[in-house]
Amino acid sequence: MFRYFALIFKNSVRNRRRSLLTIGSIAVSLCILGLLVAMYSAMFHGQATPAQALRLVVRHRVSMTQPIPIYYRDKIQRIPGVRDVMVWQWFGGVYKDARDPNNNFPRFAAEPSRFFNVRPEYVMPDDQKQAFLRERTGCIISRTLADKMNFKLGDRITLVGDIFPVTLDLKVVGIFDEPDRITVLYFNQQYLREALGPGPRQDMIGAFLVQADTAADVPRITAAIDNEFASSPFPTRSESEKAFELSFISFLGNLRLFIMAICGAVTFTILLVSGNTISMSVRERIREVGILKTLGFTPGAVLGIVLGESAVISLIGGAIGCLLAAGLCRLVAQSPGGDLMPALRTLSITPAVGLACLGAALVIGLASSFFPAWNASRTTILDSLRYSG
């Protein structure tokens, strides 16, 4: 087969316009397919970081939009294996103009005294930690957010509540470094409680972050927490931080089904495009097939040449598609979506994903061209030479 490579390559580009259009179509399709496969791998098969492996999120069993009482914290703290527990309250709110996507970054209420025990991977100078503990209206922000919004220590940030009917006037007292490069702001949960004033919402929170002593303790702690509150009016669901991220984005629907459906549609599109191109190419060269056989080419050699042409076009398109997908992955990793789904921050076309996409392009190219190639290889010399197109 390799001795016919020059002939295969020459035939692949003999009609340059059609070949370029076909390669472009396959490249775009493989670009979409590669991005989806990379997202699926990152979200559903990505490994938790060492910090995530020690952390749990405790929320209401029914929905993360349902609150749970703040006094659960003390009961969770008493469970063996729990190092610390922190209130983790999504605030939302509006910063300046909500229509500007740069102003849409996550805002959470947390407990300064527990924050760096639960998130030890976040690094911030000690004097800034003390300021966060000391100043009731103080807030801390990630280095990525500070660079993006040009925030500096001492800047004022006003958040107008949408979930909570309060307006918070915050002062930046610390900038921390964290490994996921997310844009996020944390402020004192006690400030939010005081702003809400007396009432039922004051002592209800969205979730707790639980830090375990060891990764081996996590399954036992998960079961213990949920059993503790199973018969209460506010039953809980404890899950890993990675599982919570997937639960959060599940509001968009069944992402597994969406991704698989789109991948199926893309694959079918590549099959049609490649099959149509090869069919036209074979029909144009029926007489040439007869001449090749007259010169001694066997049906197997003719079959291999036609399949090889399809493989070359598919692999070129697949390689270009993988390069385009790598660029899209970088854009997605830097998008605001990575703030809510940190797994997307590591989104990339890994060697495994790249090989899978190239393999899919090759298989689809061969499958789509098999029947035209088979028919061409089985056409007799006489029928080939009689063919007039």
pLDDT in tens, 149-183: 999 999 999 999 988 999 999 999 999 999 888 88
Looking at residues 297-318, what average pLDDT do you find?
A: 81
The per-residue pLDDT for range 83-134, each reduced to its tens digit, is: 999 999 999 889 988 788 788 889 999 999 999 999 999 999 999 999 999 9
* Angle value at C-alpha 271, between 266 and 275, nearest 5 degrees: 150
Residue-wise over 234-264: b if at least 16 C-beta within 10 A, else e?
A: eebbbbbbbebbbeeeeeeeeeeeebeeebe
Q: How confident is the model at residue 340 (pLDDT cuts 50, 70, 90)?
A: low
What does the alpha-carbon distance between residue 354 and residue 323 come to, in Å, rounded to a whole number? 9
Q: Which residue has the higher pLDDT, 142 or 269?
A: 142
| DSSP secondary structure string for all residues of 127-192 | HHHHHHHH-TTEEEEEHHHHHHHT--TT-EEEEE-SSSS-EEEEEEEEEEB-TT----EEEEHHHH
Instruction: State if pTM tops 0.85.
Output: no
SS (H, E, C) 187-254: EEHHHHHHHHCCCCCCCEECEEEEEECCHHHHHHHHHHHHHHCCCCCCCEEEEEHHHHHHHHHHHHCC
DSSP-assigned letter for residue 90? E
Q: How far is CA 250 from the centre of its chain?
A: 13
* DSSP secondary structure of 6-63: HHHHHHHTSSHHHHHHHHHHHHHHHHHHHHHHHHHHHHHSPPPPTTGGGEEEEEESS-
Distance CA 109, CA 160 (A): 14
